[in-house]
Every structure is written in C-alpha cells, then in structure tokens.
Structure 1
C-alpha cells in the first residue's frame, strides 16, 4: 500500500509539473554554487531535468535538490560547482530540443532527470528511450570525458502494468548501455511523506529536497572523490 501511495502522489506531482509554466533554458539555468574558489578552476556538475530538478514551488533554485548537493560538495571541499538546468513541465522531447544550448557551457559531470512527464502522457516507451538516448549522445559527443549519472523515475500502475514495467526498465537499460551511474528512484524516502512535501502534498519542501539531495549525493559522490 505504501508503494502505491508514493506512486499515486508522484502521478499528481507530474500532472502539476507538466502543466507548470515552462521557462526558457536561459532563464532557468542557474548556478547554485556557494564555493568561493575561482570558478575557472571548478568542475561543473549539470543537473538536466524537469520540475523536480527546477525546484517547483520553492522560493529559489538553491533550495531544490541540486542545491542540497552543492552544500554537500562545499562541505567536502571538493572543486565542483552545480548548475541547475531544470525546467518545469519538461519532457524527453523538450530536453532533446534544448540540450545543444545547454552544452555551450563546459560539463564535467552530467546528471539526467527526465522522462516522467512522458510516462504520465503515455508516450511510447520506445520514443522516450530514443529521446533520452539522443540527449546522452549529445553529451557524450560534446564532452566525451564527462561522467554520467541517470536518475530513475516511475509511472503509476493505472497506466497499465505492461507500460509501467517497460517505463521503469528504461532507466537501468540506458544506464547499462551508456555506462552511467544509476539512482533507481529519485523520490526515495520523500514521496508520500506529508511532512516532507509542500501544501499540495506533492512537491518536496526545502527539507524534503535536502533529503533527496542527500540521497543523490550518496550515489553521486563516487564520481567525484
């Protein structure tokens, strides 16, 4: 029952994120680094995703989970700066369309969080897979030495068991194919926990985002240390 509640809340979250105002990449790509080190010497970690990355409902991007990751990096005194390239409502096709612009900046570590809005809309798994692979290919082509991480998502069972299972399988399959570090489910420990979500009961609060960021950090740090 608990798992179903999490998935149900995620469904509503994605409904809202898919309807949110979609900002341009130029206005929604934000550095959240607090590191005082020379920016030219710091390596860049780019988080590329939808409203969960963008920090929907929070008062600034630094409170979204990528900002929590930056805090961990700063505490560890590692020479990395986090760039939040999340856009609310983004689909895999949208990400495919804007990735070239995003890659105008140097990328050392690329963290991909996209596809959930595709699942909510029932877009064929093959199409989502192709779009995500195109994004990954763009990164690998432009920055072949960049380290890659994939954040997994899920869709609710009311989309059909076969579709839900096929969608869930997108992420481990892409991670294996492209030798990416995988976090199976981004909202682990936060989805469905009322105290860690905003009044809508859906999007993480600043505290929830810290937990998400900590979970991401536990997987990501192996690429940095």
Structure 2
C-alpha cells in the first residue's frame, strides 16, 4: 500500500539535477590544464560538496570573444541549461576591441538566455592596464552596466585574487594554474549559489 501511495506523487523540486552552463573562453575551457582541474569541474565539485545536485557544462572555447559567444548561442542553448554563467570579454580586452561592441554582444547574450527562462550570472573582466585609462574605464563599466540593465547577477572580476599573481598563473601570465582555478571557484561560489536560487 505504501508503494502504491507513493507512485504518481510529484517529486520534490530539487529531485532533478540542475544543468549549469559555464559559457566562456579559455578561462572556462581549462587551457593547458588536465580536465579535472578546469573551472567547470572544480566548480561542480565545490557545489556538490555544499549539497547542490548540479552538473556544470563546459561551454568554454579558447580564444572566444563576446562576438564569438553570441554567434554560437544556438549551439549552447541546445544543451538545455537551467542556468548560465557568462564569462566572456577577456579576449575582447586583450585585443583592444571596441567596448561598445562588447556591451552590445554581452547584452544580446544575456537577454537571449533570459528570454529562454535561463537565469544568468555575469563574470566580469577588466581591461589590461596597457590600453590606457579611457579604454579601461569604458571596458570595465560594460559588465556592471549590463548586469544592472538586464537584472542579471554580477561577479565583478572573474580572475579576482588570481590576476597578476605568478604563483597562481601559468608562465604566460594570463591563464590560471589548477590552484588559480581553485581560487576563482572559491571567490565566485556565493554568487553561483545565488544563481541556483533563481532556477525555477
């Protein structure tokens, strides 16, 4: 009788594994790192350690810009994510691309996810200091502005605590080591949990 009574009951909301997309560039893809050290894998483990039933999908493509990410939105949406971390823009800054274009692309990416019912966390980036103050101000303002305009969550700087630290970066000074990725995960984790709270 007990079994019969349980059959047909709707399961709790948390019964289904949440599919979280990490949508970015080489920082997400895990450039020059073993798979288990890449950001999506380390983030998934950290979330599971905190009791979240989450699968983190690696949507990182090395070298990608916001324009590249915008162009492959159909492909990533086909993976049917429940939530998305958008971590694009670093290559826009490295190449000195027009911040207005970065803003337009990022806005389009975020709104496309939101229109599909997918909540978004923007992982912001900062312009390289060698590009000058004016460029830096224009570029750095893109991420908080888009978050405010769209209502997306914001983690201000994806490489917080890692950028410019030789101990946490590979010899190129740009890409984090496995330990560097661990610092990134620790920093962004509270905002990722806030993102998961928005999943319906």
What range describes the TM-score normalised by the shorter chain of this pair? Answer: 0.7 to 0.9
CA contact (8 A) 1:68 1:214 kept: no
1:111 aligned residue: 85
Q: C-alpha separation between the residues in 2 aligned to 1:122 and 1:202?
A: 16
Range that drifts further, 62-71 or 106-115: 62-71
Alignment of 1:26-65 (within 5 A): 41-60=16-35, 62-65=36-39
* Structure 2 residue ranges without an equivalent (≥5): 1-14
Q: CA deviation at 1:131?
A: 1.0
Matched, 1:137 2:143: no
Please state how far the C-alpha of 1:196 moved relative to its aligned partner: 1.6
Distance 1:181 1:147 in 2: 8
C-alpha offsets along residues 149-189 of structure 1, whole Å, 9 cap, x if unaligned?
Answer: 00010112321211110100000000111111111111111
Shift of 1:126: 1.1
Give the SS at the match of 1:126.
helix
Normalising by structure 1, we get a TM-score of 0.77
Aligned to 2:3: none
Length, aligned pairs only? 183
Shift of 1:65: 1.9
Q: Deviations over 1:114-173 (max 9, x none)?
A: 1121122222111111111111122122x22x2210001011232121111010000000
Aligned residues of 2:23 and 2:85 also touching (Cα < 8 A): yes
| Aligned-partner Cα distance in 2 for 1:203–1:171 | 20
1:68 alignment counterpart: 42
Give 5+ residue unaligned stretches, structure 1.
1-39
Structure 2 SS opposite 1:117: helix
* Structure 2 length-normalised TM: 0.86
| 2:180 is equivalent to residue 208 of structure 1 | yes
User: 1:91 maps to what in 2?
Assistant: 65
Q: Is the 8 A contact 2:113 2:119 kept in 1?
A: no
User: RMSD in angstroms over aligned alpha carbons?
Assistant: 1.5
Larger radius of gyration: 2
Q: In 1, Cα distance between the equivalents of 2:122 and 2:42? A: 17
**1:22 maps to what in 2?**
none
